[in-house]
Amino acid sequence: MAMILATYLPFFRVHEIELFFLKNISIIKPKFSIIYIDQVFNNKQIELLRRVLPEGVEVRFGNWRNRNDTWIAMLTEFLQTGVTPVVVVDSDNVVDEIFLTLHEKLAHNPIYTVLDKESWQNGARAVLSRSRLIGDINGKPVYAYKVFDGRLKNILRGGSPFFIGPKQVVVISRLPPPDLLNSLQRALSRVDAQLRNLISDETLLGIMAYAMGIREVPWVVASHHHHHGSAPSRGKVSELLTAIAHYQFAKSVARELRLREIRLYRLKYMISILHNLKSIP
């Protein structure tokens, strides 16, 4: 099939390529497969990776050091290839065998995404609270996720006002224009380098989609999430640093994009900083 299938992961999770990504290649059978490996900065690392990486798959090495700069690098390359759609699968996810059947019905959307069955079975309350049912494919429900949520309860208690929705798989049939990617890259560059990975890539993608004129993104349940289990638990200090990272990004995005909704994004994390400062023991 004339599409790009890609995944991205840090150096310490390269085992997921063999465990999961090769299965996705087998199911989807794309024309091009690309793996983006972050935190690679030494030739010895590349030598080690060359010994274990599968043949027939293109690999990109970088030291982006966070998911968002990795996404910018990926999207920039996708634009240069001119190939669409692009299917980006989280490195610890395997798509369902019926993925291509679903894709045939959803590929007309500029962007659609996939939720994993494990989150669905646990209720997926956060995702469903910003979604509406818009139809079904062979009895499987299709929802639309609101990428910007300016409701007061979300500003005061919820997650980021900008969010792409479930992101185990992101399928992009209309890529963002280069000037938008450049603006987002500049905005990221103004965030402290040690904090950039605290900004969820769902937020970056949500802002990107909204700036492209996309207000809702369809999604279906069609993958299995084999959670890597390496992330440490978060405490109050981590929540404070996350709020600072988002605040810096919101302030910087406001300099790049003329979106008045960015003010609510900035306000939300200004409030979050103050709240978390008071909560630190």
For the whole model, what pTM was predicted?
Answer: 0.95
Question: 78: buried, middle or exposed (CB in 10 Å: 19+, 13-18, 0-12)?
Answer: buried
Query: Which amino acid is residue 19, in one-letter code?
Result: L
**Number of structural domains found in the chain:** 1
pLDDT at 229: 67
E strands present in 117-250: 131-137, 140-146, 169-172, 216-225
pLDDT at 70: 98
Intra-chain end-to-end CA distance of the chain, in Å = 55
Let me know the angle formed at the C-alpha of 257 by 254 and 263, rounded to the nearest 5 degrees: 35
Residue of 157, 106, 156 whose CA lies nearest to 136: 106
Say which CATH number the domain at 108 has. 3.90.550
> The domain containing residue 98 runs over which residues?
4-279
Tokens of residue 45, six digits: 């690392």
Window from 32-46, 145-159, 196-210 with minimum mean pLDDT:
145-159
Above 70 in pLDDT, residue 167? yes
Which residues 6+ apart lie within 8 Å of 153 measured at CB?
none
In this structure, the strands spanning 216-225 and 93-95 are antiparallel
Tokens of residue 28, six digits: 């989807």
Residue with tokens 């019926």: 98
Above 70 in pLDDT, residue 232? no
pLDDT at 279: 78
Above 80 in pLDDT, residue 88? yes
In this predicted model, what pLDDT tens digit does every residue of 212-230 receive, in sequence order?
999 999 999 999 999 876 6
Tokens of residue 30, six digits: 């794309």
Across 247-253, average pLDDT: 98
Residue of 42, 33, 81 whose CA lies nearest to 63: 42
Above 80 in pLDDT, residue 71? yes
Residue of 232, 234, 245, 237 whose CA lies nearest to 276: 237
Q: How many CB atoms lie within 10 A of CB 60?
A: 16
Q: How far apart are CA 39 and CA 62, in angstroms?
A: 6
Backbone angles phi, psi at 192, to 5 degrees: -50, 130
Could you give the residue ranges of the DSSP H alpha helices within 35-177? 43-52, 67-81, 99-106, 117-121, 125-128, 152-156
Q: How far apart are CA 221 and CA 194, in angstroms?
A: 34
Residue with tokens 């970088």: 62
Backbone angles phi, psi at 8, to 5 degrees: -140, 145
